[in-house]
A and B are shown apart, each in its own frame.
Chain A
Amino acid sequence: AQSVTQPDIHITVSEGASLELRCNYSYGATPYLFWYVQSPGQGLQLLLKYFSGDTLVQGIKGFEAEFKRSQSSFNLRKPSVHWSDAAEYFCAVGAGTASKLTFGTGTRLQVTL
């Protein structure tokens, strides 16, 4: 069965600082990997996805993520955080082109001014 671990429940960074959110997955084959963001009272918005190919993927809002098969990781990064990035971030793994997503428990990002 697939699973996702997000080790950091809560992270606080200063505006303008760099950000890295950790995600580790467990899946026997090549996974489909996703990062979603959820603002209070809002639905989930897809930031980026990895299916195959280049292991460094670019997403919206200046985010990027790197797939490392050897470490079973898919960490999310942003070079300079903006106050509007404060939200909950979820990593998810899927088994193929048409399957359920398994989500991590999320990381809440707080941005200080």
Chain B
Amino acid sequence: DTGVSQDPRHKITKRGQNVTFRCDPISEHNRLYWYRQTLGQGPEFLTYFQNEAQLEKSRLLSDRFSAERPKGSFSTLEIQRTEQGDSAMYLCASSLGHNNEQFFGPGTRLTVL
């Protein structure tokens, strides 16, 4: 069990560029979550997958955000036409089916200049 991994750990981009983040959950965890955390705040839910199905999306997830989990394993989160307000830590978590104990990855810190 190597834990949840995220790549990259840091991303600096210019406003208007597209960025993509990857999350590898704990193997055999069927649920995968994306959260966003800004400075001084707790994580806020973005979206959630069970296997490859995206079951819930927050209203925070604007049309510029898209997430996929094509084979029910790793997931990607893409932000198109980034804005300075997108600067945040993007956290991924995974859990097993019988409880809601979510294990978090180290996060990807996005800075939009």
Do A and B come from the same complex? Answer: yes
* A-B residue pairs in contact (CB < 8 Å), sample of 6: A34-B101, A36-B104, A43-B105, A46-B101, A101-B43, A103-B43
Chain B residues whose C-beta falls within 8 Å of the C-beta of A90 in the assembled complex: 42-43
Contacts of B50 in A (CB 8 A): 98
Please state if A105 and B42 are interface contacts (CB–CB under 8 Å). Answer: yes
* Whole-angstrom CA separation of A99 from B93 in the bound complex: 12
Contacts of A98 in B (CB 8 A): 31, 50, 95, 97, 100
Output the least CB separation between A59 and chain B (Å).
12
Residues facing A in B3-46 (CB within 8 A) are: 4, 31, 33, 35, 40-45
A interface list, Cβ under 8 A from B: 4, 32, 34, 36, 42-46, 49, 51, 90, 92, 94, 96-106
What's the nearest-Cβ distance from chain B to residue A96, in Å? 7
Residues of B within 8 A of A92 (CB): 42
User: Hey, which chain B residues are within 8 Å of A99, CB to CB?
Assistant: 48, 56, 100
The interface size bin for chain B is 20 to 34
Bound Cα distance A97, B95 (Å): 10
- Other A-B contacts than A43-B107, A44-B104, 19 sampled, CB-CB below 8 A, are A32-B100, A36-B104, A46-B102, A46-B103, A49-B101, A51-B99, A94-B100, A97-B97, A97-B100, A98-B31, A98-B100, A100-B45, A100-B48, A101-B33, A101-B45, A101-B102, A102-B45, A105-B42, A106-B41
Q: Are A100 and B33 in contact (CB under 8 A)?
A: yes
Q: Is the CB of A97 within 8 A of B42?
A: no
